[in-house]
Amino acid sequence: MKNIAAIVAKEMRLYFVSPIIYVVAAVFLGITDYLFYAQTMYYAAASAQMMRFQSNLPQMNLHNAIFAPTLMNMSVILLLILPLLTMRLLAEEKKSRTMELLLTSPLSVSQILFGKFFAAGFVYLILLALTLHLPIGLSFFSEVTWAPLGAAYLGLVLMGGMFLAMGLFASALTENQIVAAVLSFGILIGFWLVGAVSPAEGSRAAEIVRYLSMSAHLDNLVKGLIDTRDVVYFATMTAVGLFLAHRVVDSHRWK
Amino acid sequence: MFVPIDPLKTDKNLYLLLTAALARLADAKTGVIENRRFIRYDSGDTIPRLFQPMISVQHLSKHYGDYGETTAIDDVTFTVERGEVLAFLGPNGAGKTTTMRILAGLIAPTSGSATVAGYDVLTHPMEVKRRIGYLPDNPPLYTEMTVDEYLTFAGKIRGLRGRAVTLARDAVLEKCALGDVRGRLIANLSRGYRQRVGLAQAMIHSPDVLILDEPTVGLDPKQIIDIRELVKSLAGEQTIILSTHILPEATAVCQRVVIINRGRIVAVDSRERLSMQLRQSEKLAVRVRRGEGVDLGLIYKIEGVTQITPQEMASGSDGAVREWMIESEMGADIREAVASTIVQQGWGLLEMRPVVASLEEVFLQLTTQAQGVETAYAAGESV
């Protein structure tokens, strides 16, 4: 446990001396805020219109109209941005040969990987926490329903775990950070899009494809619905990513 | 002194106390006691680990490539005793780094075994890693960190905790003369300092074994001497393997030299015996005062003499003084016969000395005509 803590501390330190994280945070928050602003404006206009027709639709609530679409948009931005947080983790260690220091120390491969995963996770949680200024800001003007919002954020946290684990796996495959980033884009976009090209409805294949599709699972959570199937999906994907990364790192000994 | 006592097993406790006392005796000289981990008694072992060589490499081979077509090392066998400094000498690409990487647990051998402190690198990698400090040919540095931060991290991942980290860090900072740069970013350090930070990283946890891969490469002469002095000062306390392709380095710091070429060990011995044994012929330099009257035929008649070559004399010396190099078969001691012949003939024997090949010559001989030497070696003593 102390070993993992040592790795986490080191990775955090390296994250915060590198400019990447600041650029990533600035871009992420800028786009998120803009999308939130656009969504809010749209909602304001739409609700004014609704008022005129005197027909208050039940789904015109703050969560469904503003937070759910904003958070879904956020997840797409995260899909493009989180690989930038993970690309460095193993590729850089291999390129600068510092991996040799880690691998000749009494650390297990799991400890190394968990340390890196948790460090990236902390950075991601900080990013997410920074977006909380949106609902908090809005709560001064309107009534925010915190429970479904909490479920939505839980969804983003779980999704982040999967993104980071897959990114770690991609980073384990190469010495080149750009290759690592592009690989994790590929993997994540693959999981994102797999639902879009589903085979014939009702077939067994369609079911499997639908289960693999990330957006459907995220959609439930973002709407405020915590379904164990979705939680299990993200937990499983995270475990798979970490397991694959473990296999890749461990296999270097046998080259 | 810390002795881990197992309350259930009295015979083990007796053994532990005994080994602890022995280790204490051994350590009394150096004063290093706190950092030592005592060797655990494993009932499965035939020989208690304390009495095994610190490093034992048996028939180690490593092949690279999909079909194992590239041979990095082939049937390498050697041992290193506790407290010994061993040089791994060979031209670039001879397999030094591969052997060290296997010992450090970075790569697995294709066949053969390697043990450190009695622990096999394949089956007990953690036990081995706890006991080694490894400096790869490229020091593994996080250039975005300061020296202090880096060494603290290195100490932590080697299992040091709390105050022990700071103490160990300050100790190696002093040992490696890094005090002046401790707050600087590693990225801004010169090559010599970086190498020393790498060395500090390898020894921060006072490991039993230090594995140093070309520790002086790329340094200036002053820095090379500093590093050698440092390594020498660690001898006895720690077991050290260092690789080099520079001969004076091996002679300067090591008690024993392993010469390796194209993946095979061509010689293992102390450096004196190495140069003795590898002479394929005995050489005797003879200098006489009245060289013009010498009849070489008389010398050739002495049993064992194979060749006589005149040596060039320094200018300005007495015109009649001559020198010859007399070569003879291995094992034939011709000194007495040569001396008495020269004295009887009244040529005026000025000097007679056996010529020992320098390690440099041995090295060149071994690595350039490895074939011939292997056979000569096989005929001579065992490796």
Are the Cβ atoms of A101 and B140 closer than 8 angstroms? yes
Judged against a pLDDT cut of 60, whether residue B40 lies above it is answered with: no
Of A10, A14, A106, nearest to B129 by CB-CB distance is A106
Nearest chain A residue to B100 by CA distance is A104
pLDDT score of B383: 35
Chain B interface, best mutation among A8, A95, A105, A253, by max B CB count within 10 A: A105
Alpha helices in chain B (DSSP H): 10-28, 96-103, 125-131, 147-157, 163-175, 191-203, 221-234, 247-253, 271-277, 296-300, 335-345, 359-368, 370-379
Give yes or no for a contact between B181 and B193, defined as CB atoms under 8 angstroms apart.
yes
The residues near A224 (Cβ < 8 Å, ≥ 6 apart) are A63, A68, A145, A147, A148, A149, A151, A152
Judged against a pLDDT cut of 60, whether residue B187 lies above it is answered with: yes
Give yes or no for a contact between B111 and B59, defined as CB atoms under 8 angstroms apart.
yes
Q: pLDDT band at residue B37, thresholds of 50, 70 and 90?
A: very low
The pTM of this model reads 0.77
CATH of domain B282-354: 3.30.70.3100
B209-213 and B239-244 as β-strands: parallel, antiparallel, unpaired? parallel
Nearest chain A residue to B199 by CA distance is A101
How far is Cα A206 from Cα B128, in angstroms, rounded to an integer?
Answer: 51
B119-120 and B111-116 as β-strands: parallel, antiparallel, unpaired? antiparallel
Higher pLDDT, B281 or A68: A68
pLDDT score of B46: 46
pLDDT score of B373: 41
Q: HEC string of chain A?
A: CHHHHHHHHHHHHHHHHCCHHHHHHHHHHHHHHHHHHHHHHHHHHHHHHHHHHCCCCCCCCHHHHHHHHHHHHHHHHHHHHHHHHHHHHHHHHHHCCCHHHHHCCCCCHHHHHHHHHHHHHHHHHHHHHHCCHHHHHHHCCCCCCHHHHHHHHHHHHHHHHHHHHHHHHHHHHCCCHHHHHHHHHHHHHHHHHCCCCCCCCCCHHHHHHHHHCHHHHHHHHHHCCCCHHHHHHHHHHHHHHHHHHHHHHHHHHHC
Greatest mean pLDDT range, B74-78, B307-311, B379-383: B74-78
Are the Cβ atoms of B157 and A102 closer than 8 angstroms? yes
Summarised one tens digit per residue, pLDDT across range B116-126 is 988 899 888 89
pLDDT score of A252: 79
Which positions in chain B touch A100 (Cβ < 8 Å)?
104, 106, 134, 136, 140
Q: pLDDT band at residue B314, thresholds of 50, 70 and 90?
A: low
pLDDT score of B41: 41
Are the Cβ atoms of B107 and A255 closer than 8 angstroms? yes
- State what percent of residues in chain B have pLDDT above 70: 75
Are the Cβ atoms of A104 and B156 closer than 8 angstroms? no
Are the Cβ atoms of A106 and B64 closer than 8 angstroms? no
Chain A interface, best mutation among B62, B116, B142, by max A CB count within 10 A: B142
Judged against a pLDDT cut of 60, whether residue B145 lies above it is answered with: yes
Give yes or no for a contact between B255 and B290, defined as CB atoms under 8 angstroms apart.
no
Helix (H, G, I), strand (E, B), or coil: what is residue B92?
coil
How many domains does one find in chain A?
Answer: 1
How far does Cα B245 stand from its chain's mean position?
Answer: 11
Q: What is the mean pLDDT of residues B179-200?
A: 91
Does any CB of chain B come closer than 8 Å to the CB of residue A251? no
Question: Which of A52-56, A221-225, B275-279, B336-340 is predicted with the least confidence, judged by mean pLDDT?
Answer: B275-279
Judged against a pLDDT cut of 60, whether residue B10 lies above it is answered with: no
pLDDT score of B358: 62
Which positions in chain B touch A9 (Cβ < 8 Å)?
153
pLDDT score of B42: 43
Does any CB of chain B come closer than 8 Å to the CB of residue A13? yes
Q: pLDDT band at residue B305, thresholds of 50, 70 and 90?
A: confident
Judged against a pLDDT cut of 80, whether residue B346 lies above it is answered with: yes
Nearest CA to B14 out of B22, B23, B5 is that of B5
Give yes or no for a contact between A77 and A31, defined as CB atoms under 8 angstroms apart.
yes
Are the Cβ atoms of B154 and A101 closer than 8 angstroms? yes
Question: Which of A7-11, B147-151, B235-239, B371-375 is predicted with the least confidence, judged by mean pLDDT?
Answer: B371-375
Angle at A110 between CA B142 and CA B72, to 5 degrees: 70
Structure tokens given for B348: 């005026």
How far is Cα B147 from Cα B193, in angstroms, rounded to an integer?
Answer: 10
pLDDT score of B25: 58
Chain A: nearest CA to B337, how far in angstroms?
A: 59
Does any CB of chain A come closer than 8 Å to the CB of residue B198? no
Q: What is the mean pLDDT of residues B362-372?
A: 58
Higher pLDDT, B19 or B27: B19
> In whole angstroms, how far apart are CA A22 and each of A15, A17, A28, A176, A250?
9, 9, 10, 21, 32
Q: Residues in chain A with pLDDT < 50?
A: none
Of A17, A106, A253, nearest to B106 by CB-CB distance is A253
pLDDT score of B347: 85
Of B134, B145, B157, nearest to A6 by CB-CB distance is B157
pLDDT score of B341: 86
Does any CB of chain B come closer than 8 Å to the CB of residue A102? yes
Of A14, A103, A104, nearest to B142 by CB-CB distance is A14
ipTM of the prediction: 0.87
Chain B: nearest CA to A92, how far in angstroms?
A: 10
Nearest CA to A226 out of A173, A164, A154 is that of A154
Q: What is the mean pLDDT of residues B233-256?
A: 82
Are the Cβ atoms of B105 and A7 closer than 8 angstroms? no
Which positions in chain A touch B149 (Cβ < 8 Å)?
13
- Domain span at residue A118 reads 2-254
Q: pLDDT band at residue B276, thresholds of 50, 70 and 90?
A: low
Give yes or no for a contact between B261 and B364, defined as CB atoms under 8 angstroms apart.
no
Of A96, A107, A253, nearest to B157 by CB-CB distance is A107
Higher pLDDT, B301 or B212: B212
Question: Which of B23-32, B210-219, B275-284 is predicted with the least confidence, judged by mean pLDDT?
Answer: B23-32
Which 8-state DSSP code applies to residue B313?
Answer: P
pLDDT score of B277: 56
Higher pLDDT, B372 or A205: A205
Residues B150, A121, A193, A74, Cα dihedral to 10°: -120
Which positions in chain A touch B106 (Cβ < 8 Å)?
100, 103-104, 252-253
Question: Which of A190-204, B68-82, B166-180, B235-249 is predicted with the least confidence, judged by mean pLDDT?
Answer: A190-204
The residues near B300 (Cβ < 8 Å, ≥ 6 apart) are B308
How far is Cα B311 from Cα B308, in angstroms, rounded to an integer?
Answer: 9
Of B126, B132, B149, nearest to A13 by CB-CB distance is B149
Size of interface A-B (CB pairs under 8 A): 72
Are the Cβ atoms of A106 and B159 closer than 8 angstroms? yes
Chain B interface, best mutation among A7, A90, A104, by max B CB count within 10 A: A104
Residue-wise over B234-243: b if at least 16 C-beta within 10 A, else e?
bbebbbbbbb
Q: pLDDT band at residue B265, thresholds of 50, 70 and 90?
A: confident
Instruction: Please state which of the four CATH numbers 3.40.50.300, 3.40.50.720, 3.40.350.10, 3.20.20.140 is assigned to the domain occupying B55-276.
Output: 3.40.50.300
Q: What is the mean pLDDT of residues B203-210?
A: 91
